[in-house]
Amino acid sequence: MIRLSSLADALRRAGQRSLGRELDRARFVHWVEQWYPAWLIAERQRERLSELVAYARVHSSFYRERLAGLPADFDLAAYAQVPPLTREELLRDAKAVRCGTAWGARASGGTGGRELRVPVDRRTYAWYIAGTWRGLRWWDTDFTERGAILLGPGHRGILGVAARAKDWVMNWLRLPVDGRFDERAPQLLQRIRAFGPAFLYAFPSAAHRLARAVLEGDARPPAGLKVVVVTGEMFYAFQRREIEEAFGCPVAQEYGSGEVGSMAFQCGAGVLHVTAENVYLEEAFDPQLPEGKRLLVTQLHNRLFPILRYEIGDVGTIEDAPCSCGRALPVVRVFGRLRDLLGAAGERHFAYPVLDRLFELLPHHLRGRVRIRQRERAQLTAEVDGGSDPDLIRVRDLLKDLLGPGWRVDAGRAPIRRLPSGKVAYFVQDHAEPLSH
| pLDDT tens-digit readout, 61-74 | 999 999 998 888 89
Residues written for the chain: 437
List per-residue pLDDT tens for the chain, 437 residues long: 345 455 555 555 555 555 568 888 999 999 999 999 999 999 999 999 999 999 999 999 999 999 998 888 899 999 999 999 999 999 999 999 999 765 555 555 454 456 778 888 888 989 988 999 999 999 999 988 999 999 988 766 666 666 677 777 778 899 999 999 999 999 999 999 999 999 999 999 999 999 999 999 999 999 999 999 999 999 999 999 999 999 999 999 999 988 899 999 999 999 999 999 999 999 999 888 888 899 999 999 999 999 999 999 999 999 998 899 999 999 999 998 888 888 776 677 889 999 999 999 999 999 999 999 998 888 899 999 988 999 999 999 999 999 888 889 999 999 999 999 999 999 998 864 444 44
- Give the C-alpha separation, 277 to 43, whole Å: 11
* Number of Cα atoms under 13 Å in the Cβ half of residue 340: 21
Burial (CB count within 10 angstroms: exposed 0-12, middle 13-18, buried 19+), residue 365? exposed
Whether the CB-CB separation of 195 and 148 falls below 8 Å is answered with yes
Candidates 108, 112, 53, 60; CA nearest to 80 is 53
Three-class secondary structure of residue 43 per DSSP: helix
Q: Measure the CA angle with vertex 232, ends 248 and 242; round to 5°.
A: 25
Three-class secondary structure of residue 82 per DSSP: coil
Looking at residue 219, its pLDDT comes to: 93
Looking at residue 15, its pLDDT comes to: 55
Looking at residue 405, its pLDDT comes to: 84
Which residues contact residue 40 at a Cβ distance below 8 angstroms, ignoring those fewer than 6 apart?
none
pTM over 0.85: yes
Exposure b/e, 271-296, CB count within 10 A at least 16 = b: bbbbbbbbbbbbbeeeeebeebbbbb
Looking at residue 427, its pLDDT comes to: 94
CATH class of 341-429: alpha beta
